[in-house]
Homo-oligomer: A and B are copies of this chain.
Amino acid sequence: MAQGSDDIQALIALMARLPGLGPRSARRIVLQLIRRRSQQMVQLAQLLDRVALNSRECATCGNITDRDECAICADPARATGEICVVQDVADLWALERGQAFRGRYHVLGGTLSALDDIGPDELGIPALIGRIHAERISEVILALNATVEGQTTAHYIADALEGTDITITGLAQGVPIGGELDYLDDGTISAALRARRRI
């Protein structure tokens, strides 16, 4: 109990399990919070409690929201006939920060994985196909990770939509903006070369 109290030790242990943190960084954070306990710490506790209570998945797209339907799905201006399929809510947020897409999203919540027993039903792919038809979507953008699992999932969805007149696209692969060729992996270099464009 040298580290303050049982509660403080439990708090450090809980913090240390958060992504990117370990015992050392958790201790540092908890000590700073205790130093500012009357303001920052109480505020953090209240926000965590409110967010835990109010957060839910958007019934339509799976985005995190505090209402039944997320702000994107509820926005009539975004009914553009385009739907962007992402793996996680974090990917949706990343695309929104880019401000380049004005349609709606669909969050799968994972990728197909035979090893982990995650099939199309676990990811709600039949529901996605139904939604695409019901909303008369004209373009499906498969913004999935450029990993084997991400691309397998993308191929599965593309196959399921074959025979319809829906345009199916994926994100361009190539050199990141500001990227230095010297630091890029070989796969990206060759993909960027194969997809080269006239300037």
Contact = CB atoms under 8 A, between A and B. Distances in A.
Most buried by B among A40, A43, A64: A64
B45 A7 contact: no
Interface string A87-127: 01110110011000000000000000000000000000000
Interface residues of A, number: 56
A66 B33 contact: no
A64 B31 contact: yes
A184 interface: no
Most buried by B among A2, A21, A92, A97: A2
A10 B47 contact: yes
Nearest to A65: B4
Contact of A45 (B34, B52, B65, B66): B52
